[in-house]
A and B are shown apart, each in its own frame.
Chain A
Amino acid sequence: SQKIEQNSEALNIQEGKTATLTCNYTNYSPAYLQWYRQDPGRGPVFLLLIRENEKEKRKERLKVTFDTTLKQSLFHITASQPADSATYLCALGTGGFKTIFGAGTRLFVKA
């Protein structure tokens, strides 16, 4: 069956360190993968998109990698700050406007 997995356990890191979040999928051939940030009580906000023919994408302190052989995306936040504390969702675009979301990973950055 088709599945998207993100670490269900929260990730706790110290301010200034790099946070790395994982998104694994099975039985999909996504055209692209997106990462969203969600704060408590609010809707998700788009962060980055990476297409199937791209290996890496960067935006300021954010970096996303996409390995279609391993069926995995890694999301990195460098020089993390307490303000980066949130839940991060990965989403697979399979074409035809349908996006499949993972359950998200909570990140806590301690000062």
Chain B
Amino acid sequence: NAGVTQTPKFQVLKTGQSMTLQCAQDMNHEYMSWYRQDPGMGLRLIHYSVGAGITDQGEVPNGYNVSRSTTEDFPLRLLSAAPSQTSVYFCASSGPGQGGPDTQYFGPGTRLTVL
């Protein structure tokens, strides 16, 4: 199992550009989520999905869109990048594990810089 994969690892955008961060998991987990991590702050939930076709907003959803057409994939779209979106982005899927049904498995992250 590859677990949770994310692409790209690094990305530099100019203000106003759009892009999609890719996330895929091969564990057949229903629940997937996107977080951003900024220095001195905890992981903050952007959007999450409890299954194909179902998404909902987290704590900091503005400027981001998501869709979930399959169980495996959960892309995150930046509509018009802003410097405030410079961050490290983590995708996670959640399923049965040592931590119970809510054990989260994280991808390696995408480091995004918006100039």
Which residues of A come within 8 Å of B, CB atoms?
A: 4, 8, 32, 34, 36, 41-46, 48-49, 51, 89, 91, 93, 97-104
In the complex, the answer to whether A49 meets B98 with C-beta atoms within 8 Å is yes
Which residues of B come within 8 Å of A, CB atoms?
A: 4, 31, 33, 35, 40-45, 48, 50, 58, 90, 92, 94, 97-100, 102-109
In the complex, the answer to whether B107 meets A43 with C-beta atoms within 8 Å is yes
**Bound complex: CA of A49 vs CA of B105, how far in Å?**
14
Chain B interface SS verdict (over half): strand
The verdict on A34 contacting B106 (CB below 8 Å), with A101-B42, A103-B41 known, is no
CB-CB nearest in chain A for B31: A97
The 12 sampled A-B contact pairs (Cβ below 8 Å) are: A4-B42, A34-B99, A34-B104, A43-B107, A43-B108, A46-B97, A49-B102, A97-B31, A101-B35, A102-B42, A103-B41, A103-B42
A102 to chain B, nearest CB (A): 5
Inter-chain pairs besides A45-B106, A97-B31, 10 sampled, C-beta below 8 Å: A8-B40, A34-B102, A44-B43, A44-B104, A89-B43, A97-B50, A97-B94, A98-B45, A99-B102, A100-B42
* Interchain pairs with CB closer than 8 A, number: 67
Chain A interface SS verdict (over half): strand
CB-CB nearest in chain B for A49: B99
In the complex, the answer to whether B103 meets A49 with C-beta atoms within 8 Å is yes
Task: List chain A residues, Cβ under 8 A from B98.
Answer: 46, 48-49
In the complex, the answer to whether A93 meets B102 with C-beta atoms within 8 Å is yes
Task: List chain A residues, Cβ under 8 A from B105.
Answer: 46
The verdict on A103 contacting B94 (CB below 8 Å), with A32-B102, A93-B102 known, is no
Residue of A32, A44, A98 near B48 (CB, 8 A) is: A98
Task: List chain B residues, Cβ under 8 A from A42.
Answer: 108-109
Task: List chain B residues, Cβ under 8 A from A91.
Answer: 43, 104
In the complex, the answer to whether A43 meets B90 with C-beta atoms within 8 Å is yes
In the complex, the answer to whether B109 meets A49 with C-beta atoms within 8 Å is no
B7 to chain A, nearest CB (A): 14
Task: List chain B residues, Cβ under 8 A from A32.
Answer: 100, 102
In the complex, the answer to whether B108 meets A103 with C-beta atoms within 8 Å is no
